[in-house]
Amino acid sequence: MPDQRIKTPCVGLCSTVFGDQVCRGCKRFHHEIVNWNLYSDDEKRAVWERLEVLLVQVMEGKISVFDPALLQQQLEQRKIRFNTAQSTYCWAYQLIAKGARVINQLEAYGLALMPEFRDWPLPDIRDAIDREFFILSEAHYERYIAPRFLREGMEIRV
């Protein structure tokens, strides 16, 4: 699928409207979602890169991509959107996010589960990946973003 179709990390499951500072769907921060259309290409790229780094960290602990060409072929055949500039682990996430309930043999997609996850149903692995990705995104927000907003809020009052 052409990369140009993916213009935002949004997956249509926004939880920031319910007060979350980190979206449970796309894992962006509230202010990134609100300001996305105002961001420069460099700002958008920085968000995409942070999401990629966190997702790859989670995926590498659960899945091995042993045949990237096969994975790409399968994604294209099934018309699952993915960004060819991103890690193959991001591609694998797109596949699992869309097909966890119908995939029987990951090997047919160029993927293999790490030994400690081989007995898990794929939908449970997908959910575990999503939870861990969210937890890492929240931790990143708390460590690097929230203190800046707190400081900026204090400067305004002074």
* Cα 128 from Cα 123, distance rounded (Å): 9
| Bridge partners, residue 64, by sequence | 112
87's tokens: 């890690």
Q: How far is CA 83 from CA 10, 35, 64, in A?
A: 14, 22, 18
pLDDT at 15: 77
Query: What residue ranges of the chain have pLDDT lower than 50?
Result: 1-4, 155-158
pLDDT at 153: 54
Contact of 95 with 50, CB cutoff 8 Å: no
Q: pTM of this prediction?
A: 0.88
Domain containing 73 equals 3-157
Number of domains in the chain: 1
